[in-house]
Amino acid sequence: MEENQIAKLLLDIWDDMQEPAILWQVGVLAVCLLLASGVARQIRGFLQRRRSAEPSAMYGAGEEGLRRVIFPLTALVFVLVGRTLLQHWHNVHLLKLATPLLTAMAAIRLTVHALKKAFPRAVWLASFERFFATAAWVVAALHITGVLPTVIDGMEQVSFTIGKASVNLWMLAQGVLIVMLTVLVALWAAGVVEARLMRAEGIDPNLKLVFARLSKALLIVLAVAIGLPLVGIDLTALSVFGGALGVGLGFGMQKIAANYVSGFILLLDRSIRMGNLISVGNERGIVSQITTRYTVIKGMGGVESIVPNETLVGSVVQNETFTDPKLRVALPIQVGYATDLEKAMGILVEAARLQPRVLQDPEPKAFVEAFADSGINLQLGFWIGDPEEGTLGIRSAINLHVWRRFKEEGIEIPFPQREVRILNPSAALPPALS
């Protein structure tokens, strides 16, 4: 609508409010909203029943979007039908005003839904949703009241020159809006592609992450390349500036670039995967997350370490579950020299076999490791198939069982002792005491 048409519409509504016939418009609008509410409730119930009947099924991203826009779109359809029928007998200026309001409501809800799909883990989205909704309703109110053209004219008066191009505030606002919209569409499309990739079977999880991140990067670049020319910015004019900026970023962000390249290398060569138990430097734990810049290692105590990908590519990494998840645990135990070694070694093997986490193939074995100063060093070796659960609990259980059985059998567990022998007692005493 033009400014004079909107002003005329508002004046017509004011005139209608002076007549009793306005009740027809109010009644038709109320009926349309009630019918739309009922239809929306039925559709939401149908979607909920379908999801309850097939809880394991994967539904597309459009279902939640349909839940959000079904009411304003249905109300818009009913209002258009009601306006068409009522205009034969009464004025329909109020219903004409309701049409852009319902359209704006549907657009706002759909945009917010797209943002949530594009940034599913963003903590700032809740506050931004309120800001975006407020800004959209302000723009809609300015448009309906006819003030928006005046605001646009004022923004066009504030202009400045960048090189040979003349730019004003309205052009900048349009550029930011168009680029945001194209990037938003690209992020939404990237989210859809990522969701389909994650549901695909027969593809390695690391390759899924690589393809998802590559598709997101390509779609964002494509969106910017499409959005800037729509605003009137020539991309060829930015080539020199982009080259200089690229050189500067190359020198100033070498570490960050190296981490990103290393991240793609890790995801492609699959040397480290999600769930692997690895050790790098002083860090040991399970790989819980792999991004293009860093990898998260969750230690056995619950502490998460963020390791740059460059460190994982450029240093030695011990991957305890790379090809085989089985892990051998060595448990040292010392006994006295008077101990029956066969009996002691049998107790060690017996203690290991009683633990459900210990694998029976390879079977646990006991060895005589060394003859030490205070006793004989034995070693119990056994294998477990779940190293991600840690080894402290099973070592404690085996040690406790061995200690009890050694007490029952009278087997001594020696402790360090020192003996002091005086070979010539009279020479060692002072003359006054001899």
Does 308 reside within a domain? yes
Residues 50 and 107 in one domain: yes
Q: Is residue 410 left, alpha or beta, with left meaning phi > 0 and alpha meaning psi from -120 to 50? A: left
User: From start to end of 128-260, where are the E strands?
Assistant: 159-162, 165-168
pLDDT for 294: 85
Residues 146 and 12 in one domain: yes
Percentage helix, strand, coil for the chain under 3-state DSSP, each rounded to 5: 60, 15, 25
Does 221 reside within a domain? no
Residues 404 and 273 in one domain: no
Residues 151 and 297 in one domain: no
pLDDT for 44: 74
Residue that is last in its domain, among 255, 286, 318: 318
* Exposure on the CB side of residue 58, measured as CA atoms within 13 A: 7
CATH label of the domain that carries residue 300: 2.30.30.60
Domain containing residue 95? 1-157
Q: Which of 131, 231, 107 is nearest to 179 (CA)?
A: 231
What distance in Å separates the CA atoms of residue 267 and residue 206, rounded to the nearest whole number?
5
Residues 5 and 147 in one domain: yes
* 146 token code pair: 């006819």
Residues 300 and 334 in one domain: no
Residues 83 and 153 in one domain: yes
pLDDT for 2: 46
Does 195 reside within a domain? no
Q: Which of 153, 185, 188, 180 is nearest to 169 (CA)?
A: 153
Residues 112 and 8 in one domain: yes
Q: pTM (2 decimals)?
A: 0.45
Residues 38 and 96 in one domain: yes
Residue that is last in its domain, among 98, 131, 157: 157
Does 99 reside within a domain? yes
Q: How many CB atoms lie within 10 A of CB 25?
A: 24
Counted domains in the chain? 3
Q: Which of 341, 328, 345 is nearest to 379 (CA)?
A: 345
Does 120 reside within a domain? yes
Q: Which residues of the chain have pLDDT under 50?
A: 1-3, 56-61
CATH label of the domain that carries residue 359: 3.30.70.100
DSSP 233: -
Residues 346 and 314 in one domain: no
pLDDT for 348: 93
Q: Which of 339, 272, 279 is nearest to 305 (CA)?
A: 279
Does 61 reside within a domain? yes
Does 240 reside within a domain? no
Residues 285 and 332 in one domain: no
Residues 65 and 112 in one domain: yes
Residue that is last in its domain, among 94, 124, 157: 157
What distance in Å separates the CA atoms of residue 41 and residue 71, rounded to the nearest whole number?
9
What is the phi/psi pair of residue 371, to 5°? Answer: -100, 105
Does 203 reside within a domain? no
